[in-house]
C-alpha cells in the first residue's frame, strides 16, 4: 500500500477545508464520504469528484477504508471515534477529542488495545507560524522562557454561523471551541501543563442568530462564555490564557506572546497555519520578523491526518496525537473545574507527554 484510504464522516462547514488540502495527497487519499444527512455527503462528493457515498454504518464496515476522519459536531466525536476503532479503523477527529474525559480515556484505551492510531485536530501547530516560533525558542533566541500570555477575545459565532446553537451547549463556548488552538500551540512551544487555576462565567445569558435563514432566533446559553486563568508548565513557565465570546467590540491584545530571559516572541494566530513571527531581543527598541522555518499554503487543515497516515506507514509517532489532544482536553476541563471548585487543578496527563520545551536544559522552576 502506497497510501491510506480516508473516509470522512460529517460533511458540514469544516469539510471543504480538509477536502481542499487532501485532494492532491497521495498519502491520505479521501475515497468516501458519509453524513447523517445523505444529501450533504452527495453534494460534497459531486463537488470534489469523490466516487463513494456511504451511510455512516456502511462507512464503518467498509474494508476499503483505513482511517475515519471524524468531522461531526463535538457531541458526536466520542461515539464516532469509538465506533471507528471497534470496526478496526484508525481515527482522526476534529477537536475536541470528546466532550468528556471519560470518553476520551475510553477512546485511547481502546486504540491501544487494538493497536490502532488516534489523531485529533487542531493541526495548525504544524504550520509555518507555530513551527517557526518553536524553532526560534529552541534556538535560544529569547533565552529561557519564563512567561506567556494568550488571548482569544471576540464576539460569538452567532454572527456568522447559520446554526450556532451547539456553541452554547455543554462542550461548547470559547474554551472548547477555540481553546484547543491556543492550548495546543502553548504545549507545543512550552511543554506539558501541570496545573491550572481560573475563573469562568456566562456573562451574556442569551444570543441572537445574525445570519442565514434563522436570523433573529434566540439561543439560550448553557456554558461559560468567558474564561480567565493561569497555567503552570512543567518547566516552570507561568502562562495567562483568556478566551471569550463576550467581547463584541474586539480587542488589540496579542494572540500569543512568549517572554524569555533574553527577549520576547510574538506568535501568530494559532487558528491559522501561517502569519509573521516577531522577535524583540533584550535592548532592542524594535520588533523584527523571523524568517519562516518553511512555507506552505494558507489553509492546511488535513496536515495532521496526512502526517498520521505517513506515520502509520513509516511506523513512527504522529504529532497531532490522541495523547496530545487528551492533555489539552484535560486542561480545558481544568479551567472549568478550578472556577467551580475554587482551587488549583493538577493535570494527571502531564506525564503522558515528553518534555520537549526548548529550554529543558536550563532546569525547572519550583512552584510554591
The count of domains in the chain is: 2
Q: Does a structural domain hold residue 354?
A: yes
Q: Looking at residue 109, which CATH number applies to its domain?
A: 3.40.50.720
Q: Does a structural domain hold residue 20?
A: yes
Q: Decide: 204 and 211 in contact? Cβ < 8 Å.
A: no
Q: 4-9 and 28-34 as β-strands: parallel, antiparallel, unpaired?
A: parallel
Query: Residue 26: which domain range?
Result: 4-120
Tens digits of per-residue pLDDT, 197-221? 999 999 899 999 998 899 999 999 9
Write 58-62 long-range contacts (CB < 8 A, 24+). 58/34, 59/7, 59/9, 59/32, 59/34, 60/84, 60/87, 60/89, 61/87, 62/7, 62/32
Question: Would you state the pLDDT for residue 356?
Answer: 59
Tens digits of per-residue pLDDT, 154-208? 999 999 888 899 899 988 899 999 999 999 999 999 999 999 999 999 989 999 9
The reply to whether 225 and 269 lie within a common domain is yes
The reply to whether 109 and 199 lie within a common domain is no
For residue 368, pLDDT over 50 is answered with no
Tens digits of per-residue pLDDT, 67-125? 999 999 888 999 999 999 999 999 999 999 999 999 999 999 999 999 999 999 999 99
CA angle 123, 227, 356 (to 5 degrees): 40
For residue 364, pLDDT over 50 is answered with no
Tens digits of per-residue pLDDT, 306-361? 999 999 999 999 999 999 999 999 999 999 999 999 999 999 998 888 765 444 43
The reply to whether 88 and 211 lie within a common domain is no
The reply to whether 111 and 132 lie within a common domain is no
The reply to whether 168 and 59 lie within a common domain is no
Domain limit, last residue, from 120, 145, 166: 120
Q: Looking at residue 265, which CATH number applies to its domain?
A: 3.30.360.10
Amino acid at each position: 500500500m502506497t497510501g491510506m484510504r480516508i473516509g470522512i464522516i460529517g460533511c458540514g462547514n469544516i469539510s471543504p477545508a480538509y477536502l481542499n488540502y487532501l485532494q492532491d495527497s497521495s498519502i491520505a487519499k479521501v475515497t468516501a464520504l458519509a453524513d447523517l444527512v445523505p444529501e450533504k455527503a452527495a453534494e460534497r462528493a459531486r463537488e470534489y469528484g469523490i466516487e463513494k457515498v456511504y451511510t455512516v454504518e456502511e462507512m464503518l464496515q467498509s474494508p476499503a477504508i483505513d482511517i475515519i476522519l471524524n468531522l461531526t459536531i463535538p457531541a458526536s466525536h466520542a461515539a464516532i471515534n469509538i465506533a471507528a476503532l471497534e470496526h478496526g479503523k484508525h481515527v482522526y477527529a476534529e477537536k475536541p477529542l470528546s466532550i468528556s474525559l471519560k470518553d476520551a480515556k475510553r477512546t485511547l484505551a481502546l486504540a491501544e488495545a487494538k493497536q490502532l492510531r488516534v489523531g485529533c485536530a487542531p493541526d495548525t501547530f504544524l504550520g509555518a507560524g507555530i513551527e517557526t516560533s518553536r524553532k526560534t525558542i529552541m534556538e535560544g533566541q529569547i533565552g529561557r522562557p519564563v512567561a506567556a500570555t494568550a488571548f482569544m477575545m471576540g464576539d460569538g459565532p452567532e454572527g456568522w454561523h447559520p446554526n450556532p446553537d451547539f456553541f452554547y451547549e455543554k462542550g461548547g463556548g470559547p474554551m472548547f471551541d477555540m481553546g484547543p488552538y491556543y492550548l495546543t500551540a502553548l504545549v507545543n512551544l512550552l511543554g506539558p501543563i501541570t496545573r491550572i487555576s481560573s475563573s469562568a462565567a456566562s456573562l451574556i445569558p442569551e444570543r441572537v442568530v445574525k445570519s442565514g435563514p434563522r436570523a433573529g432566533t434566540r439561543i439560550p446559553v448553557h456554558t461559560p462564555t468567558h474564561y480567565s486563568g493561569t497555567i503552570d508548565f512543567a518547566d516552570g513557565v507561568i502562562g495567562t490564557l483568556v478566551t471569550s465570546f463576550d467581547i463584541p467590540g474586539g480587542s488589540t491584545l496579542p494572540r500569543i506572546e512568549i517572554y524569555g530571559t533574553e527577549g520576547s516572541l510574538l506568535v501568530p494566530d494559532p487558528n491559522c497555519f501561517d502569519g509573521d513571527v516577531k522577535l524583540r531581543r533584550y535592548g532592542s527598541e524594535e520588533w523584527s520578523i523571523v524568517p519562516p522555518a518553511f512555507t506552505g499554503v494558507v489553509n492546511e487543515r488535513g496536515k495532521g491526518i496526512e502526517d498520521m497516515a505517513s506515520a502509520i506507514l513509516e511506523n513512527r509517532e504522529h504529532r497531532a496525537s490522541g495523547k496530545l489532544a487528551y492533555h489539552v482536553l484535560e486542561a480545558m476541563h481544568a479551567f472549568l473545574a478550578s472556577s467551580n471548585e475554587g482551587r488549583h487543578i493538577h493535570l494527571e496527563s502531564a506525564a503522558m507527554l515528553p518534555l520537549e520545551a526548548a529550554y529543558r536544559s536550563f532546569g525547572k522552576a519550583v512552584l510554591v
